[in-house]
A = this chain, B = another copy of it.
Amino acid sequence: MVKKQNTEDKIVEAAKKVFIQKGMDGARMQQIADEAGINKALLHYYFRTKNKLFEKIFSLVFRDIFEVLEMAVMKELSFEQFLEQFITEYIALLKRKPYIPQFVIHEINRKPQRIVDQMKNTKFDKQQLFALIEQAAEDKRIRPIPPVHLITNILSLCLFPFVAKPIITGFALDGDKEKYKTYIDERPEQVITFVKQALFL
C-alpha cells in the first residue's frame, strides 16, 4: 500500500476548494482532479460520483459550522459569558474556515430543506438559548429583546464580514488586503462592544 490516506485527503481538500468557489453546478471533476494533483480516473476510483463527493464535502463543512455553536451553548454559561465567548470563538472559527458562509448560502439556495433538516439533527438546543436570553431580560440584566432578533443580530454581525470580503476589501478598504486583515482582527472586540452597548442597561 502506498501512502493512501494522503490521496483521499488531497481530494477532499481540492474538492472543498472547488465546490466552495464554483458551487456544485459550476464545479468540474477535472478541475478537482487537477487541483488534487491526480487524474480523473483516480478521482472516480475514490468517489464514484460527483454527487457522492459533494455529499462528503457538504457533511464535513456542516460539521464545522456547529462545532463552536454546540460547544458554546452546552457549557451552561451565563448570558454575559456566552456573549463574549460565542462571538470570540465564532469569528475565530470563521477566520480558520472563511469558506463556510459562502458555501452554506449557496446551498440554502439550491436545497433549502436539506440544510434545515441537517440543522434539526444537531445537538444544538435552541430552546436553551432562548431561555437564557429571556431570563437575562427578566432579571433586568439586559433590555428586553425578542430572542430571534438578538440571535440573528449576533450571527449577522459575525458572518457578514466574511461573506462580503471582496466588497469590503475592494470598496471600503481601497483593495488593501492588509486593511481587511486588520479589520477582521478588530471584529471580535467591535462586535462584543456593539452588542453589549445595545443590550446592557
Contact = CB atoms under 8 A, between A and B. Distances in A.
Interface in A148-171: 148-149, 151-153, 155-157, 159-161, 163-168, 170-171
Nearest to A24: B26
A161 B153 CA distance: 9
Contacts of A119: 167, 170-171
A106 B106 contact: yes
Contact of A164 (B152, B161, B198): B152
A87 B109 CA distance: 25
A139 interface: no
A46 interface: no
Interface residues of A, number: 55
Contact of A172 (B113, B126, B164, B175): B126
A153 B171 CA distance: 16
A42 interface: no
B183 A148 contact: yes
Contact of A157 (B106, B109, B143, B157): B157
A120 B157 contact: no
Interface string A1-37: 0000000000000000000111111100000000000
A177 interface: no
B143 A22 contact: no
**Could you say which of A21, A105, A151, A186 has the most chain B C-beta atoms within 10 Å of its C-beta?**
A105
Given A23-B25, A113-B170, A156-B156, 11 more contacts: A25-B25, A102-B105, A108-B167, A119-B170, A120-B170, A148-B172, A149-B190, A152-B164, A155-B160, A157-B157, A159-B160
Interface of A: 20-26, 102, 105-106, 108-110, 112-113, 115-116, 119-120, 126, 143, 145-146, 148-149, 151-153, 155-157, 159-161, 163-168, 170-173, 175, 183, 186-187, 190-191, 194-195, 197-199
